[in-house]
Amino acid sequence: MTANRARRRFLRGSLAAGSILLGRTAGAATPDTPAAASAATPAPAAPYRNTPGQPFTPYGQPVRHERAVVRRIAANRDVAGNGVGLTPLEDLEGSITPSGLHFERHHNGVPQIDPARHQVVLHGLVRQPLAFGMAQLLRYPMQSKTLVIECSGNSNVAWHREPMQRPVGSMHGLVSCSQWSGVPLALLLDEAGVDRKASWVVIEGADGFDFSISIPLSKIREDCFLALYQNGERLRAEQGYPVRLMVPGWRGHLHVKWVHRIEVTSAPRLSRNETAAYSALMPDGRARIFDFVLDVKSLITTPTHDQTLPAPGPTMISGLAWSGHGAIRAVDVSVDGGNAWQPATLQQPVLAQAFARFSLAWNWRGKPAILQSRATDDSGRVQPSRAALLAARGHNNFYHFNGIVSWKVDEDGSVSHAYA
Amino acid sequence: MTANRARRRFLRGSLAAGSILLGRTAGAATPDTPAAASAATPAPAAPYRNTPGQPFTPYGQPVRHERAVVRRIAANRDVAGNGVGLTPLEDLEGSITPSGLHFERHHNGVPQIDPARHQVVLHGLVRQPLAFGMAQLLRYPMQSKTLVIECSGNSNVAWHREPMQRPVGSMHGLVSCSQWSGVPLALLLDEAGVDRKASWVVIEGADGFDFSISIPLSKIREDCFLALYQNGERLRAEQGYPVRLMVPGWRGHLHVKWVHRIEVTSAPRLSRNETAAYSALMPDGRARIFDFVLDVKSLITTPTHDQTLPAPGPTMISGLAWSGHGAIRAVDVSVDGGNAWQPATLQQPVLAQAFARFSLAWNWRGKPAILQSRATDDSGRVQPSRAALLAARGHNNFYHFNGIVSWKVDEDGSVSHAYA
């Protein structure tokens, strides 16, 4: 559906978004009459109308009225520094996640690294091992890409047998999208000279957890880069300052933070985080490992649990879709639990491996409804229903949930998470 | 030039970006020998290698090592709240300006507005005057656009007779680019019903300065919107919280902050800020007013004043280009003061009315050089030389400088601002 068609549909239920009529009613108003003008005068002056405002600030911060918009922290009580901070997706618009709200996932907290003393060592099956200081890396050619990062454990509560009642971000907020800038790894590999026997690269972070992961050399050469900037400025500590690996379209745990070692090898390391963890346990007891690419997925971000529709009438349904396989081609929305589907509007431009914002104007008639979104990417992959995903993967899973998520609207306008 | 060609050119001067050789030299190294591996082991463990790191944070902040990356504030000493905060362009990468570093320009400081009490009143030549509370506006259909905002007074020091010696952001940093999301004004106008006599719209901000401006109704209908979000999250106070006008591709002062009144009219208001200020004084003493569209422009952001090239060899030249008339089609770079030009690489995708990041790998031979960039947009407009701009506009100007900016590199690698 085009944006114009969506707009016309929205206006058919006009005034219903809650604007307040001023002055005389439509028929009687003549635009230039003092009555209309007077009715349209703002209320008595607020204090800031008569006094100078606050001064300039070197680095801006959110206003206090929005201080509830924060990451929801779910930290492991038994292991210091192990846990997550989820992005409050329900509070955001557009397709960029600001750096302060980008999700966090750490295994041993956030190391505080002095960039003047930090190096990235590139060694293994190379002609010439090299070490790169941060000042040196900053002088290399850079590239920038707007990329989604989704933790492999995102949406893990959706595997539960009963739907948890939380806003979308508190269950599915281990996914964010920012513009990342850094140095193509192919450039550094060419400088070191890669041996013909090489086929894998092992990347290690400098945190106390020694987080390490194996990635095929072909992917590293294709489009991986060492990010030094997020959304224009240098990385935040919790996003890997001073340097993080970006693996476009692939799962979040591969995006190693605080990179300090890159080893070119002829085999994967089979580290804990690519075998015991971040693998998918199948119904037959075997695990899927090296399942790298982000599945096609979408989430309605509004309405969501903890929101109440104020009244029947035009209601915006909005959300986010993404796929590691390419760009989102379409998002369909259902308001009846998946029987009928309507195409949503996609905010342009739609970028590969990034958030696509979708929206649909829905005329809620005050009856119970089940809202769903279903994404299709330009490789033709379609987001599966939860039932289909469970049939294929079983109930033992923790990772890689990309099934359709459902929100139930009751007659009183309250919204709850549902399995449908 | 393609990114691959730029990469090959950069590698021809290989290792010169300053990577450090490890272990044996290239000829002698066999990749699997313990010697090479041992040489490539990182230095003795930093404290964060053996202890849990810092805990999770609800809202992330820059690291302390980057605390010098802030807006440079130039406030008027005589008028409280009048001044600017400039974006440190030389410290940023990519094409997004993070909200905390987006430039500020205020006439009476930053009002602290309670969104629960704020309304946007739409009146004048309309069938039905309307008032919109913030909760109501948030339920309307939204659109998102990545847009540059440039203050009409940006680069005003470039009209001076002698080149000021400052980093690029301190002279030209009244320009930034973010993703903005909000409600199309056409939708609200349709709801109010615009009279046939209407041809202009006057927008007023709620700050104590009563900042107001006139914009043709056709532009308002075409693509203007009331922004509620910047880079995904609600506006910062200094960017107009709770609601700001966006005027894609047009000059910065039109992007009224803290919008509280929108009056549909049949003539411009001829307010102070569209007559005495924000107009261009021509050599014959007349002023250009209602000169709305941002001119095509580019800036080299690195190298810049206060930077020193560390050594002859491969050196990245990088910068930003934009045009209110459309998308940037090409940026050419000269290293000899404008005699010879080479095409720079443009970071993809290039979006209309947004920052385009350009870069060129330059092999600096240790001799004096004059670096320049020249942007061309897809309407065919070309950024003029400073001399050509001065010939047309004279020396009395303060606004709308879009001439080519020059940086002089001396033999010792130091960089200064130059007129060339």
- C-alpha distances (whole Å) from B227 to each of A11, A163, A215, B85, B185 are 20, 35, 41, 21, 10
Q: Which of B26, B100, B208 lies closest to A61 in CB terms?
A: B100
Q: Which of residues 53-92 of A touch B (CB under 8 A)?
A: 53-63, 65-66, 69-71, 73, 75, 80-81, 83-85, 91-92
DSSP conformation class of B37:
H
Nearest to B413 by CA among B315, B271, B344: B315
Cβ count within 10 A of residue B76:
12
Alpha-carbon span B258 to B235, nearest angstrom: 10
Residue whose entry in the numeric block shows the structure tokens 């704020």:
B118
pLDDT in tens, B217-258: 999 999 999 999 999 999 999 999 999 999 999 999 999 999
What pLDDT score was predicted for residue A44? 62
Mean pLDDT of B276-292: 87
Count of alpha carbons within 13 angstroms of residue A71, beta-carbon side: 28
What pLDDT score was predicted for residue A26? 36
- Per the confidence metrics, is the pTM higher than 0.90? yes
For chain B, give the percent of residues with pLDDT over 90.
80
Count of alpha carbons within 13 angstroms of residue B101, beta-carbon side: 30
Report DSSP letters for B135-147, one per residue.
Answer: HHHTTS--EEEEE
- C-alpha distances (whole Å) from B397 to each of A202, A322, B152 are 58, 48, 11
H/E element holding A388? helix A386-393
Angle at B335 between CA B332 and CA B337, to 5 degrees: 95
Chain B residue with minimal CA distance to A317? B141
Nearest to A230 by CA among A218, A217, A239: A239
What pLDDT score was predicted for residue A37? 37
Residue whose entry in the numeric block shows the structure tokens 């850079």:
A142
What pLDDT score was predicted for residue B277? 87
- C-alpha distances (whole Å) from B206 to each of A320, B129, B385 are 33, 19, 39
Decide if A17 and B115 are in contact by the 8 Å CB cutoff: no
H/E element holding A221? helix A217-223
CATH for B297-418, among 2.60.40.650, 3.30.2010.10, 3.40.440.10, 3.40.50.150?
2.60.40.650
For chain A, the helix, strand and coil percentages under 3-state DSSP, each to the nearest 5: 20, 35, 50
CB B245 within 8 A of CB B145: no
Each of the 420 residues of chain A gets a pLDDT tens digit; together they read 455 555 555 655 544 455 677 753 333 333 333 333 334 455 567 888 888 899 999 999 999 999 999 999 999 888 888 999 999 999 999 999 999 999 999 999 999 999 999 999 999 999 999 999 999 999 999 999 999 999 999 999 999 999 999 999 999 999 999 999 999 999 999 999 999 999 999 999 999 888 999 999 999 999 999 999 999 999 999 999 999 999 999 999 999 999 999 999 999 999 988 988 888 888 888 888 999 999 999 999 999 999 999 999 999 999 999 999 999 999 999 999 999 999 999 999 999 999 999 999 999 999 999 999 999 999 999 999 999 999 998 888 889 999 999 999 999 999 999 999
Decide if A7 and B187 are in contact by the 8 Å CB cutoff: yes
Alpha-carbon span B119 to B135, nearest angstrom: 10
Confidence of residue B111 (pLDDT cuts 50, 70, 90): very high
What pLDDT score was predicted for residue A128? 97
Mean pLDDT of B180-205: 98
Decide if A318 and B23 are in contact by the 8 Å CB cutoff: no
> How close B197 gets to chain A, by Cα (Å)?
10
Q: Which amino acid is at A303?
A: P
- C-alpha distances (whole Å) from B253 to each of B119, B138, B389 are 21, 24, 22
Which of A128, A217, A230, A264 should one mutate to test binding to chain B, selecting the residue with the greatest count of B CBs within 10 A? A128
Mean pLDDT of B212-216: 97
Angle at A102 between CA A97 and CA A105, to 5 degrees: 155
Beta strand residue intervals within B338-405, DSSP E: 342-343, 345-346, 356-364, 369-377
Report DSSP letters for A305-355, one per residue.
Answer: TT-B--SSEEEEEEEEEE-TTS-EEEEEEESBSSSS-EEPEEPSSPPTTS-
Contacts (Cβ under 8 Å, ≥6 apart) of B324: B148, B248, B249, B250, B251, B292, B293, B294, B295, B353
CATH architecture assigned to A104-288: Alpha-Beta Complex (3.90)
Confidence of residue B42 (pLDDT cuts 50, 70, 90): low
Q: Read off the tokens for B306.
A: 């206060």
Nearest to B364 by CA among B294, B296, B282, B303: B303
H/E element holding A20? strand A20-21
CATH 3.90.420.10 spans which residues of chain A? 104-288
Count of alpha carbons within 13 angstroms of residue A245, beta-carbon side: 32
> How close B132 gets to chain A, by Cα (Å)?
5
For chain B, the helix, strand and coil percentages under 3-state DSSP, each to the nearest 5: 20, 35, 50
Contacts (Cβ under 8 Å, ≥6 apart) of A123: A129, A130, A192, A261, A262, A263, A264, B22, B23, B36, B37, B39, B40
| Lowest mean pLDDT segment, chosen from A106-120, B34-48, B313-327 | B34-48
Asked if the model's pLDDT at residue B21 lies above 80, the reply is: no
CATH 2.60.40.650 spans which residues of chain A? 297-418
10 Å CB burial of residue A284 (0-12, 13-18, 19+) is exposed
Asked if the model's pLDDT at residue B418 lies above 70, the reply is: yes
What pLDDT score was predicted for residue B330? 98
> How close A385 gets to chain B, by Cα (Å)?
27
H/E element holding A172? helix A168-172
| Total beta-carbon pairs less than 8 A apart between chain A and chain B | 451
Nearest to B377 by CA among B343, B328, B308, B312: B328
